[in-house]
Amino acid sequence: MEEDGFVPIVAIFYSVFHPTEGTKVVHQVPSGSIVQASSELDSSALEEPLFDFDSVKNYVIPKPQICNRLVTFKIGSYRVLGYPVNIYGTHYARNSFNFNFCFVFPYNSDTTAYENHIKRIGKMFRTLEEQSNILSKKTFKDCSIFFKQSSHQHDKRSESVGNANISSANISSANVSNGNNSNGNNSNANNSRGGSLSGNSNIITPITSTSLVNDQINFDEKYFKTVIDSDGNNPKATVDKANNNYITPGQQSKNSQPNLSSIESLIQQIYQDLNNYSECLIPIDASNSVDVKLFPIFPPPPDINAWDVPIQTVKLRALVDVNWDPTMLKILPFINGINSIKKISNLADADYLLTKQCIQHLMHYKCIVILDLFLFSNIYAPTSKIGLFLYDPDLASECQAYVVAPTPFDNLPLHHSAINSDSKNNSTDNNASTNNAARNTINNNNDNASKDELYHSANFHSSSSRSLDNNLELKKLIIPSKTKLFQLYRSLNHGQTVRDWYVEHQQELKYIDIRRFLSFGVLRGLIYRIYSYPVANDNIRNNAKLGNTPNDNDNDDRTADIDDTLALQQENEDKFDNKDEIITKHIQRNQQLCLMKLLKKRLNMDAICTDMDTSRKEVEEMLNSLSDWSIINR
């Protein structure tokens, strides 16, 4: 990666469609990069052009249908970005003016940061050209090639005026045609010069033929100056003598018309500034400048789900300042790699949608990565990239440092049933993550601890307090070896839940924090999570049809339903059902419907649990009550 992340520009060139010669590269930097350098004295010129310009010239100045948009093409090993501009105007020879500022980059590079700027520069020059013809005048020393030659039909008007007046008339009429906003002023100037073309100052007449204009310009330069000096009323129509690069007819004073000293120096400066400083601010005149600052552009964040678990990658708490969004501040303490987004919004008492947006923002700025819920019923398996663990020693050491647990888990009850019963006991509060329930009570207590929360069972509470209290006892800490870690990763397979796997490898997992072990593996692409998808048989769909609730409500509308049903019931006096029963039945019914809807969407278990706010076991029970179902793990 480059130092500031932006790929340096290889070359910039400015090309134009010449009416008789066709597409030409007028200026290029570095010299000789696109076409052979014209002057042999330039020692810094490249010996060979970077690519064959002739083969791509039809894309640099393309047909009008492609113009006025960002056009990118590949030639050789280079990528060229440009914004070809086609301006239609009857005062131009051939009725249009075509130009393009092109930027050349190596092909395999990320040029997204430049794209908008190239478009902007193109559009800006298009507007400047439309308003005051700066480019068509500045491109060649003999600017009149771009404008219409006078034709014989218009001779009658000029013939009536004297010779000296013809030149001034033509030049000042060029004023008229080229400076829309100075029309009024020019006609005044004309009239004050002793009626040169008084009646015709509003008519756009073409400039005289090429050979004449240059002579007249030189001749009349003095003429202009003398006249203006005596005519104090009109300071605007001055010829810019100070600007020695160019003398053009119709050149207004610096304040009223953009003045581009040289296109060549402009693109040279853009090239140097952008490559050296990633920004440039080059004034073209008092009111226009080429102002570019390169910013890295991140792709928009992908859509995230309620059951995703965010985990911080930077210390967000350290970055908080006064301007942060209140929702963001609220949810920040709960982003710990354990809480799903739904959970975070519940705990922080924030609106779910706002929470989701905050998380997406954090993802966009790469402060957060997304994991999945950690449950003992998860299944993981190695990916093909597990070999990286062996090839990359840094990866392995990082893993070691991350997963080592400060205290060993030797106090855990290890019986299979014991673990299950523990988790069963703690699943009373219907949270999505059953096993997290026990943890979460501890987590909430230890909220002030660092984000590296260990999970413990109820028994562990004492040992964790022990670990914080490092004065007391120093427990022996054995860092798991890389081999062991690798073996453990490899031993994960499709057929085992984390629970079973833990029981099997208990000894090896003594000093290892399982959650961090698994999340490290997933984040680095060493293992991947296998999701369970419950799939219903057709019976469920039939049951849905039989059910007589016509509404498609969510859980939130349950209460409304209940009221309706109760109201209905009260009308039927002869039914003396238990109100509570009705409600529970109703809730049950609604839940079942909800579940059926979710099943149709083919979501995984995590999603269903989160959406319905129930534990996995309960979902399974509900499914059992509905009909046959099976699980697909993938």
State the residues that interact with other proteins by CB under 8 A.
17-24, 54, 57-58, 61-64, 88, 90, 94-96, 152
- Is 35 or 598 the residue whose CB approaches other proteins more closely? 35
> Which tokens is 325 given?
């969004």
Tokens of 288: 């226009």
Tracing tokens 């059992």 back to the chain, one arrives at 624
Beta carbon of residue 64, minimum distance to other proteins (angstroms, whole number): 7
Residue (204 or 311) nearer to other proteins, CB: 204
Number of CB atoms found within 10 A of residue 405's CB = 21
Contact between residue 170 and residue 222 where contact means Cβ atoms under 8 Å apart? no
Q: How far is the CB of 95 from other proteins (least distance, A)?
A: 5
Rank residues 57 and 119 by Cβ distance to other proteins and give the closer one.
57
User: Which of 64/525 has CB closer to other proteins?
Assistant: 64
Q: Which is nearer to other proteins, 152 or 156 (CB)?
A: 152
- 227: its two tokens: 């006249």
CB of 386 to other proteins, least distance (A): 50
Find where tokens 């999340």 sit.
Answer: 519
* Strand pairing report for 96-106 and 279-283: unpaired
Q: How far is the CB of 67 from other proteins (least distance, A)?
A: 10
Instruction: Kindly state the tokens that stand for 54.
Output: 């002739």
Evaluate whether 373 touches 435 at the Cβ level (below 8 Å).
no
In angstroms, give the least distance from the CB of 607 to other proteins. 55
Q: Smallest distance, Å, CB 25 to other proteins?
A: 11
| Eight-class DSSP state of 44 | T
CB of 98 to other proteins, least distance (A): 8
- What are the b/e assignments for 283-295, b being 16+ CB within 10 Å? ebbeebebebebe
Dihedral of CA 230/231/235/239: which sign?
negative
- 60, two tokens: 């640099």
Could you tell me if 527 and 487 are in contact, meaning their C-beta atoms sit under 8 angstroms apart?
no
DSSP 164-182: HHHHHHHHHHHHHHH-GGG
Task: Tell me how far, at minimum, the Cβ of 111 lies from other proteins, in Å.
Answer: 26
Q: Which is nearer to other proteins, 211 or 481 (CB)?
A: 211
Q: Nearer to other proteins by C-beta: 85 or 607?
A: 85
Comparing CA positions, the residue from 534, 536, 532, 535 lying closest to residue 494 is 532
CB closer to other proteins out of 64 and 413: 64
Decide if 408 contacts 514 (C-beta within 8 A). no
